[in-house]
Structure 1
Amino acid sequence: MQAIRNRDTAPEQAIRSLLHAAGLRYRVCARPLPDLRRTADLVFRPTKVAVFVDGCYWHGCPEHYVPPKTNPGYWSDKVARNIARDRDTDARLQQAGWTVLRFWEHQSADECALLVADTVAARRIGLLRRKQAPGEQ
């Protein structure tokens, strides 16, 4: 289990590289909420966008997950707990006003990075409008 990476995976690094090249800055493997003991792969704090790049096996991808042949009871339960934790994390972040983006490791890094960049840009525009609205009246 120690050899399994929980950060800096190849799909995550590909998305980070594209976002960095586009001029976006973010926190890596950070807690979006200080009191939530869970980390997102990329965190854009000012715009409240949390990005997760989930592994197909560990998070139960509907397309690629293959149940284990060795010790299936333990591993299938572990993946089920991971999925439940992911849903709970999404709900808690959304309640706190965050936008949650989840991608599978097999998805195109270009498409993921484009969606992240568009989401962050849209949230920035929303923040600017909210800041300007009180002064205009």
Structure 2
Amino acid sequence: MADIVSPAKRSQMMAGIKGKNTKPELLVRRALHRRGFRFRLHQRELPGRPDIVLPRFKAAIFVNGCFWHGHSCKYFKLPATNTEFWRKKIEANQKRDALKEAQLVDLGYRVFSVWECQTRAGTNSIEALIDKLTSDIRRPELHDQDVSSVPS
């Protein structure tokens, strides 16, 4: 099936997709700040340029979009058109994510992942997510954590 918009329009649309300061990321940042955490954003010196870095706790947080990172939730579905392209792209994103997380762990960072779907749920779910995240950040023995155990 052919694209319904011109290549120039598609390019413009794709260029408008944000990689920083997304709505889920802002939700997590505000909640952490309200709980007294102070952090750095998108540190270029670190592998993968984590969305949120808490230097005091040597913790890095990635706030991932479910589509772009291939999360197994209701918000991820491969497009019906150009499926092979999207499959390869998302698999490459997942491989790159794993590599960058491993590099951060090698540097002594604890890595946490928050998924977009977790921030879309009601206020109670977001509060539970942030409670679990802040609890895990304060526990130095935890490494390479996905905060997915909190229901989305």
By the TM > 0.5 criterion, same fold? yes
Question: TM (normalized to structure 2)?
Answer: 0.72
Question: TM (normalized to structure 1)?
Answer: 0.79
Deviation (angstroms), 1:35: 6.0
- Give the aligned length: 120
Matches within 5 A, 1:100-119: 100-107=111-118, 108-119=125-136
Matches within 5 A, 1:84-99: 84-99=95-110
**Matched residue type, 1:10:** K
**Which residue among 38, 51, 69 is the counterpart of 1:41?**
51
Give the equivalent residue in structure 2 for 1:127: none
* Cα pair 1:54 1:102 within 8 Å, conserved: yes
Unaligned runs of 5+ in 2: 1-13, 119-124, 141-152
Unaligned runs of 5+ in 1: 124-137
- CA RMSD, Structure 1 to Structure 2 (Å): 1.6
Give the equivalent residue in structure 2 for 1:79: 90
Deviation (angstroms), 1:109: 2.9
Deviation (angstroms), 1:78: 0.6
Give the % identical residues.
32
